[in-house]
Every structure is written in structure tokens, then in C-alpha cells.
Amino acid sequence: MPGLELFGLGFLDSITSQYGYRVVTNNIGYFLGGAWYTVFITAISLAIGMVLGLFAGLGKLTSNKFLYYLSTAYIDFFRGTPLFVQIFLLYFGVLPMIYDNDPVSSAIIALGLNSGAYIGEIVRAGIQAVDVGQMEAARSLGMNHRQAMTYVILPQAFKIVIPPLINEFIALLKDSSLVSAISVAELMHRGDLVFANTYQAWVFGAVAVIYFIMTKTISVIGDHVERRLATD
């Protein structure tokens, strides 16, 4: 396609070139390995984020001033600065002071801390969405605060929190592509490498499709869980 060069988009020619797609078929195993890496990093980060998020969310609701300010500062920082910056700051700045850090563990820590902040807000909102009358009814029956939380509030908050949590899983999986910048060999990074060698934009089409299959899988499972919980 003449003229595209003018905009620096000459590489798009490769899409129309006859055998450009072969770069995908030739590297499909390599990409799927990267996708597996993406799932692995996302899953561990998510586990960390869930634990941090539960504590941060409860921390925002406690009457303990110290825990409240700690949770607020944590959530504000990680929601208020770009994840891309957080990844670099942790990888090059903070973590080297703590241990001999490598890209993969640094990526997991950055993604875990970041998702923990978002999940913290989800947890807080979910608990607050439970009607105050529920806590009062539980307390009036003689339950202490912890019993009322465990048997009455949290089970109801859990249902409320499922849809935004699914959204957060999906966002985290997509955001994990940013750790390609510190050369973690996940899907996006592998796409980048192959593209740098071939200049075939087919690569990114394939990468996009693989991400889409992964996020779609999460949302289908999420819808299923939501429907199961809604029946009772």
C-alpha cells in the first residue's frame, strides 16, 4: 500500500504481503508458551492482590486509625500512579534494596500490589453495600462484631463483589503485558521480540487474539459463577 511509509506505517504492508501470516504459524508454540507465562504471573499476582485487598478493604472500614491511614495510603498510591511507573520503580528502585531481584518476581510483586489496591476498594464498597440493618439485626441477636461480619455481612458482600472482581481479573491479565518492559518473557514480550526480527504486524494480531481468548474465558467463567450464586 503506497503512501503508508509517509506516516511511518510502512510495516503494515506486511499484513497484505502474501506469506506474512507465516510468522504466526512458525512461532505459535513460542506465543502459547508466553500466554502460559502470562496466566502464571497473573494468577500469582491475583492471589497476592486478593489477600492484600481483603486487608486493605477491611482496613478502610475499621475504627483503628493506624490501620485506616495505612490502608488509605496504600490504596491511594497504587491507584493514583501509573502501573507502568510502579513496575519500573519497584524493579529498578525499591526491590534491589531489599533482595537480589529478578524480573519475574518483581513483576509479580508490582502486579500484586497494584491489584491489591483495586481489590481493596472493591471489598470496601462491597461491605458498605450491605444494608446497615443487617449488622444491627445480627448485633441485636447477640453476635459480636466479628461473628456478625463472618456469618452475615461478608457472605452477602461476597456476592456483590463478584462482578467487579471479574472485571479486575480481566484488567490485571491485560495489564500484565506491561511487564514486558522489564523483559519478563510473557506473551507481549515474545510478540515484541518476534516483531523486532520480522516486522510482521501479524504478530500483534495473533497476540491480541490470544489475550482475547484468555479474557473471554475469564468472563464466561465469571458469568457462570454469578448465575450459580444468584439462584438461591
Partner 1 sequence: MIRVVNLHKSFGHLHVLRGVNFSVAPSEVVCVIGPSGSGKSTLLRCINQLEKADSGHIYIDNEELTHPKTDINKIRQQVGMVFQLFNLFPHKTTLENITLAPIKIKGVDKAAAEELAMELLRKVGLTDKAHVYPNKLSGGQKQRVAIARALAMQPKVMLFDEPTSALDPEMVGEVLAVMQDLAVEGMTMVVVTHEMGFAREVGDRVVFMDEGVIMEEGTPEEIFNNPRNPRTRSFLSKVL
Footprint of partner 1 on this chain (CB under 8 A)? 131, 133-134, 136-144, 147, 151-152, 155-156, 159, 232
- For cell 497476592, the residue is 48
Concatenating the DSSP letter of every residue in 86-114 gives: HHHIIIIIIHHHHS---HHHHHHHHHHHH
Nearer to partner 1, 135 or 214 (CB): 135
Rounded to the nearest whole angstrom, what is the least distance from the CB of residue 215 to partner 1 in the complex?
Answer: 30
CB 163, CB 222: distance < 8 Å = yes
Rounded to the nearest whole angstrom, what is the least distance from the CB of residue 147 to partner 1 in the complex?
Answer: 6
Nearer to partner 1, 75 or 153 (CB): 153
Nearer to partner 1, 5 or 131 (CB): 131
Rounded to the nearest whole angstrom, what is the least distance from the CB of residue 73 to partner 1 in the complex?
Answer: 29
What whole-number distance in Å separates Cα of residue 204 and Cα of residue 160? Answer: 36
Nearer to partner 1, 3 or 133 (CB): 133
Nearest Cα to Cα of residue 194 among 13, 25, 5, 12: 25
Rounded to the nearest whole angstrom, what is the least distance from the CB of residue 137 to partner 1 in the complex?
Answer: 4
Sign of the CA dihedral with 89 first, then 170, 218, and 229 last: positive
